[in-house]
Amino acid sequence: MSWETVIGLEVHVQVNSKTKAFCGCSTAFGAEPNTQTCPVCLGMPGQLPVLNIEVARKSVLTGLAINATINLESKFDRKNYFYPDLPKGYQISQFPLPIVEGGYLDIPVPDGEKRIGVTRIHIEEDAGKSMHEGLEGVSHIDLNRSGVPLMEIVSEPDMRSADEAVAYLKQLHQLVRFLDVSGADMEKGQFRCDANVSVRRFGEELGTRAELKNLNSFRFIKQAIDYEVARQIELIEDGGEVVQETRLFDSAKGESRSMRSKEEAHDYRYFPEPDLPPLRISQQEVDAIRAGMPELPGQLRERFESEFSLSSYDADVLSQTRELAAWYETLVAAHPADPKRCANWMANELLGRLKEQGKDIADSPVSAQDLAGLLDRIADNTISGKIAKDVLDAMMATGVSADAVIESKGLKQVSDSGEIDTLILQIMVDNPDQLEQFRAGKDKLFGFFVGQVMKASKGQANPGMVNQRLKDLLKG
Amino acid sequence: MPFSSLSDLKTRLDAGETTAVELAQRYLDRIDAHNGDLNAFVDVDHQHILDQAKASDAHRAKHGARPLEGLPIAVKDIFCTQDGPTTCCSKILKGFHAPYDAHVITRLKNAGAILVGKTNMDEFAMGSSTETSAFGACRNPWDVERIPGGSSGGSASAVAGGLVPAALGTDTGGSIRQPAAVCGITGLKPTYGRVSRRGIIAFASSLDQAGPMTRTVKDTAMISAILCGHDSGDSTSVVDAPEIDWLAACESVDMKGLRIGKPKEYFVDGMDAGVRAVVEAALAKCVELGAEIVDISLPHTKYAVAAYYVIAPSEASANLSRYDGVRFGQRCDKPEDLVDMYTRSRDEGFGSEVKRRILTGTFALSSGYYDAYYLKAQQVRTLIRQDFLDAFEQVDIIATPTSPIPAFKIGEKTDDPITMYLSDIFTIALNLAGLPGMSQPCGFVDNLPVGLQWIAPAWREDALLSAASAYEGATDWTTKSPAAFDGNTAGGES
């Protein structure tokens, strides 16, 4: 019996504005508890929200990037529920009329691309944080996060496997970072995912779904969905029924448990937020936001392939993040003669070394200008590509320029034909047997002589010249 | 002196005939002498008031007088103030001290006013009689056995009793105008969006509006000029509201050419015959002053109270969720768990009328009922707004009784919320429509004051002030004061 999995995702993306959604408090992560609060985000009597317009602009930008409709008038609503870390007893959100509706994301799948519908993006405020662990008989509440702006991005139930769900999330994660609308740091809770999962036999109506909460890494998301799919299939095959419920994934145990059933579900009693007038954005503002849209990953990849003739692999690597792409373009600007060499050295050599050190491109001890300096020395034959790798190691360790490394270590390539001839003649004298065999027609030994000369020069001899001179001199 | 108008006091201060300290002391003496009878004030800090007055006299001497320099003004206990407690007359906010001033409090302070303490009110402004206060019922100076109206009953009682020359109230469904009417003073509810709501404890956010309660029309204008204006901290405060020359609007002495609409739905069988007669007589006076009375209809008036008692409690049910015992105010002793803490703290903290409205609102917003109640009420609201727009095609201003009945006896209606809600039958519709309204004294029934309500198009408070000052100039109702409190007029059922 074959089963089809149906997945829809709700992603809470923290908008990276400096201040909160409805007050002037900082959104910086990691401050002492309750130091980034004010009467508004503490829900004090008589306090009123004022929308941070930056949050609306970033939501519009995100909407445009997924080809969605921007609602020029959207509305705020109150979502009512009691919890100690929700100071007002309601969350300001958008319910019937969100700022963005109806877009899509194309995600990579094994046989090409698949289009995943995005139902809506709405603006809402985050709640604070309750802390129970290690406390006896009390709970502590940190309201620094209260009022931090979120975009809730809701997909259509278009995904058919955990892998597709992860691909969608990765694509969305990359997009919001490219757009600079979110830091999307999952460890800091800036990109949080809930998954609605159901199974059905092929061709049948949608099955009953369970909502999985608290999925905080791509790995857990895959684990949680796979676990849930297996659980539901087993349940049905054993003659049981899936009940609509919210389940909490326990990453330590790799399993989920029921948090609340449909009957226990909150009635949020949504109604229009009377403290905020409708959010109106003009078409001109939307057009201006669209005009400021940065190049998106797919566009960058294509441009890198066509403009710089990069392989699709290199183009893909270098368009993974905005920072990488910008770094690459700075490098090409500093070493315009050979964009492919730039790509090769950045993608393979530099990023490989950074990865070993657990660093991002932003932390690279070698700047784009310095790497360009190294590539210039390869281009002008001062050093060979092989020596250049050693030079790059030294640059990574010390942060000094290529020229300084070459100078201090005396690595300059030998391109003087007289010097090279002297080396070659010495090798010929030292290896009479091989010379005789070569002259008798054993051409394979040419490589032996190249190797000996390079070794004798400690790798510094210009390989092209060594080849050229050997051809002349070995003939006798 | 106790019944002097704010503008008379200003004249005397400006002429150097008295000082802020002297005024403050004299009103404090009045409060000490009479608040026991009226229960109009719930918090008065003598020393702090005298300190403000000293600072005001010093400011006058050094920099000259600001618009309200040295004038004592009381505020309803719904306005957050950094000085002293702010409780909304609810046990759930017992001991709460706001770390901020309401925006309008800042405006009063900056204008040089002396804040004379907090006045009694219905708990969370929910009521028409100031009987639901956690501090006990407030009393009407015209007859201390009777209610002063509500919810701004403390402010009305204090001004009418000569304990303070002027006060601030808030009006969600009539809470400035109805107490002003039954206490025989003047009160204005400005257009929704004219006055910042920031720092005023919310009852129903789409309806609440603060305004002055004074002895005269000019005093209302003096305070309005300070209160009104855009506040970027309140998103419902309108940025480009038409400006008004408040004092100039009060110079009107006649009503020549004024078309006054008389809505038939506001003169009906079942209302107090005495009140009706007094208001009819007031309209006759307007005709003498040159006005034309035009019979009009506001056909959806009959649905206003029902719509209001869905919308206001719905908003209130959410607005009052923050009183949960977690961060401030009342928390029950030794809660067993979270739910116990919530339920007991709120059960102990809220009075029965507040609970009734939270339950009503929660019900109206519940899944399955939202469309039938909340949504329907919002549709009614649109129709009521349209009624007024249609009426103002024919007339310049509308005149009605403010309250269908004079002040009733304390305890008379506490067991019958529906009858109580009908006290606001003439005031509620214009809150739903967001329009400005005003009540001014226009006579007595059995020695109890009766109010005349004026309703103008949005942003036309100047029209209210002009009509009211013409009427005030042609009559002597504002000169009346209750004899039992050293005034010149017999009060009560004599």
Q: How many CA atoms lie within 13 A of B221 on its CB side?
A: 23
- pLDDT tens digits, residue range B347-380? 999 999 999 999 999 999 999 999 999 999 999 9
* Cβ contact, residue pair B80, A277, below 8 Å: no
* Count of CB pairs separated by less than 8 Å, A with B: 96
* Closest A-chain CA to B364: A269
Share of chain B above pLDDT 70, in %: 99
- Backbone dihedral region for residue B457 (phi beyond 0: left; psi -120 to 50: alpha; all else: beta): beta
**Using an 8 Å Cβ cutoff, are A308 and A340 in contact?**
yes
Determine the average pLDDT of the residues in A274-301: 95
What's the alpha-carbon Rg for chain B, to the nearest Å?
Answer: 21
Best of A34, A38, A47 to mutate (most B CBs within 10 Å, chain B): A47
How many other CB atoms are there within 10 angstroms of residue A365's CB atom? 15
CATH number at residue B133: 3.90.1300.10
Selected residues 72-91 of chain A with any CB under 8 Å from a CB in chain B: 78, 80, 82, 84, 87-90
Annotation: CATH topology of A417-475: Arc Repressor Mutant, subunit A (1.10.10)
Burial profile B267-303: b = 16 or more Cβ within 10 angstroms, e = fewer: beeebbebbbebbeebbebbeebebebeebebebbeb
Domain residue limits, chain A: 3-285, 295-409, 417-475
Tally of domains in chain B: 1
For residues B147-171, average pLDDT = 98
pLDDT-based confidence at residue A2 (cuts at 50, 70, 90): confident
Closest residue to A267, CB basis, from B88, B201, B366: B366
Confidence label for A89 from pLDDT (cuts 50, 70 and 90): very high
pLDDT digits (tens, 9 = 90+) for B269-295: 878 999 999 999 999 999 999 999 999
Residue B437: per-residue pLDDT:
98
Tell me the β-bridge partners of A50: none
Q: Which residue has the tokens 């002055």?
A: B212
Average pLDDT of span B181-196:
98
pLDDT in tens, B14-65: 999 999 999 999 999 999 999 999 999 999 999 999 999 999 999 999 999 9
Distance from CA of B447 to the nearest CA of A (A): 38
Residue B461 has a pLDDT of 98
Q: What is the pLDDT of residues A451-469, one digit of tens each?
A: 988 888 888 888 888 888 8
- Give the nearest chain B residue to A85 (CA atoms): B326
Interchain contact A137–B (C-beta under 8 A): no
Asked if A277 and B197 come within 8 Å (Cβ–Cβ), the reply is no
CA-to-CA separations, A45 to A19, A36, B127, B320, in angstroms, rounded: 21, 18, 19, 9
Q: What is the pLDDT of residue B493?
A: 46
Name residues 28-67 of chain A within 8 A of B (Cβ). Answer: 39, 42-51
| Ramachandran bin of A444, using left for φ above 0, alpha for ψ from -120 to 50, beta for the remaining angles | alpha
Residue-wise pLDDT for B101-153, tens only, equals 999 999 999 999 999 999 999 999 999 999 999 999 999 999 999 999 999 99
Question: What's residue B167's pLDDT?
Answer: 98
B475-491, pLDDT tens digit by residue?
A: 999 999 999 999 998 86
**DSSP SS3 for A411:** coil
Scan for tokens 């204006």, then name that residue: B229
pLDDT band at B158 (very low <50, low <70, confident <90, very high): very high
Condensed to tens digits (0 to 9), the pLDDT of residues A185-220 reads: 999 999 999 999 999 999 889 999 999 987 889 999
For residues A361 and A351, the answer to whether their CB atoms sit within 8 Å is yes
Full-model pTM: 0.90
Per residue in A29-87, pLDDT (tens digit) is: 999 999 999 999 999 999 999 999 999 999 999 999 999 999 999 999 999 999 999 99
Give the per-residue pLDDT at A185.
94
Closest residue by Cα to residue A254 from A287, A291, A215: A215
Q: Do B322 and A277 touch (CB under 8 A)?
A: no
Average pLDDT over residues A103-110: 94
Label residue A441 exposed, middle or buried (CB < 10 Å: 0-12, 13-18, 19+): exposed
pLDDT digits over A170-183, tens only? 999 999 999 999 99
pLDDT of residue B419: 77
A338 in Cβ contact with A379 (< 8 Å): yes
Query: What is the arithmetic mean of pLDDT over B413-424?
Result: 81
Q: How far apart are the first and last CA of chain B?
A: 25
The closest alpha carbon to A58, from A121, A125, A146, belongs to: A121
Alpha-carbon distance A22 to A87, whole Å?
Answer: 14
Q: Cβ distance A38 to A194 under 8 Å? A: no
pLDDT of residue A468: 86
- Return the pLDDT at A266: 84
pLDDT of residue B45: 97
Domain containing residue B250:
6-264+391-485
Whether B233 sits inside 8 A of A48 (CB atoms) is: yes
- Chain B residues inside the 8 Å CB shell of A39: 99-100
Is B376 inside a domain boundary? no
Peptide bond into B151 cis (omega under 30): yes
Q: What is the pLDDT of residue B24?
A: 98
Q: What is the pLDDT of residue A443?
A: 86
Q: Is A276 helix (H, G, I), strand (E, B) or coil?
A: coil
**Which residue in this structure is represented by tokens 């257009």?**
B191
Write the DSSP symbol of residue A363: G
CA distance B278 to chain A (A): 38
Q: Average pLDDT in the A22-34 region?
A: 96
pLDDT band at A1 (very low <50, low <70, confident <90, very high): low
pLDDT of residue B494: 40
Sign for the CA dihedral angle at B182, B183, B185, B186 comes to negative
The answer to whether B324 contacts A89, with C-beta atoms less than 8 Å apart, is yes
Using a CB-CB distance cutoff of 8 angstroms, which residues of chain A are in contact with residue B204? 274
**Which of the four pLDDT bands, split at 50, 70 and 90, describes residue B417?**
confident
Residue B1's pLDDT is what?
Answer: 73
The predicted pLDDT at position B492 comes to 56
**Interface contact A39-B100, CB threshold 8 A:** yes
More confident residue, B419 or B219: B219
B288 belongs to a structural domain: no
At residue A462, the pLDDT reads: 83
Report the DSSP pairing between strands A3-14 and A279-280: unpaired
Q: Would you state the pLDDT for residue B491?
A: 67
For A137, which residue in chain B has the nearest alpha carbon? B337
Q: Touching check for B148 and chain A: CB below 8 Å?
A: no
A453 within 8 A of A463, measured Cβ to Cβ: no
Cα B456 from chain centroid? 17
How many other β-carbons are positioned within 10 Å of the β-carbon of residue B340?
12
* Helix pair angle (B20-38, B153-160), 10° resolution: 120
* Residues of A with Cβ-Cβ distance to B202 under 8 angstroms: 45-46, 275
- CA A88 to chain B, closest CA, distance in angstroms equals 4
Please report the pLDDT score of residue A21 as a whole number. 98
Query: Residue A64: helix, strand or coil by DSSP?
Result: helix
pLDDT in tens, A218-266: 999 999 999 999 999 999 999 999 999 999 988 888 888 898 887 778 8
Nearest CA in chain A to B378: A272
Answer with the residue of higher pLDDT: B230 or A213: B230
